[in-house]
Amino acid sequence: MAERSTPALPSPLQIERLRYRWPNGASALEHCSFKLPGPGLWMLVGGNGSGKSTLLRLITGLLKPESGQILRGCSPALVFQNPDHQLLLPSCGSELAFHRPAGHPLERGRIDAALEQVGLAGLAERPIHSLSGGQKQRLAIASALISGAQLLLLDEPTALLDPDSQQSVLTLIRELCPPLSALWVTHRLEELDHCDGALRMEGGQAGHWQSGQELRRQLERQGLPRGTAG
């Protein structure tokens, strides 16, 4: 087992024969391999329990693989389905200050710029509890950006949002990637139309890259109900 950050790596992320079992012995990933082709917006679909969330946790280092390799070309940050599970502080500005890289001075200009980058300009003093769901999700993305992450790992980031907010979060990530990279897990097949490529996870293994539209058509032909794609 090896994990390392390799700045010279051409791919933002390469996964090689990754294996993970939970402490109860249940297998979540079995020889899972794939490589992000480059910066951009990449999507991952798969049925419930196919290992998508476990994979994202392994990439960030929250879990340790049993075997295999995770080669990171840049630093990752996780964005959860429910922003209330990751936003910790009272105001937008204090949340972003908390996520600035260790040792960096607290600069109001940097915080204002990060808020502007995600469409929340002027909201530094705004209490987080007063934000809409979509605004909270965009603040979670700003927290990832201010931390210096260049690979965003988004675990069903629009699942709890209304249609307008779903669109605004997708548009934001689309604008950021490239030059940044995102690995976006979704059960919403219509989102596949907007990615640079998509992979299907099945039984803890990753398939091959396809165009998002091609994978969407394939899954729709199978007529799987929402939430079970894969």
Ligand X SMILES: Nc1ncnc2c1ncn2[C@@H]1O[C@H](COP(=O)(O)OP(=O)(O)OP(=O)(O)O)[C@@H](O)[C@H]1O
- 157 is an interface residue for ligand X by CB under 6 A: no
Q: Distance between CA atoms of 217 and 60, rounded to whole angstroms?
A: 31
The burial class, CB within 10 Å (0-12 / 13-18 / 19+), for 163 is exposed
- 186 is an interface residue for ligand X by CB under 6 A: no
Applying CB under 6 A, among 4, 26, 105, 163 the residue interacting with ligand X is 26
- 150 is an interface residue for ligand X by CB under 6 A: no
Position closest to Mg ion via CB? 53
Q: How far is the CB of 69 from ligand X (least distance, A)?
A: 19
Q: Are 88 and 23 in contact (CB under 8 A)?
A: no
Which stretch in 18-26, 58-66, 143-151, 214-222 sits in contact with ligand X by CB under 6 A? 18-26
Nearer Cβ to ligand X, position 54 or 150?
Answer: 54
Q: Which does 146 bind (CB under 5 to 8 A by kind): Mg ion, ligand X, none?
A: none
* Residue-wise burial string across 59-97, b where 16 or more C-beta atoms lie within 10 A, e elsewhere: bbeebebeebebbbbbbbbbbbbbbeebbeeebbbbbbb
Nearer Cβ to Mg ion, position 47 or 119?
Answer: 47
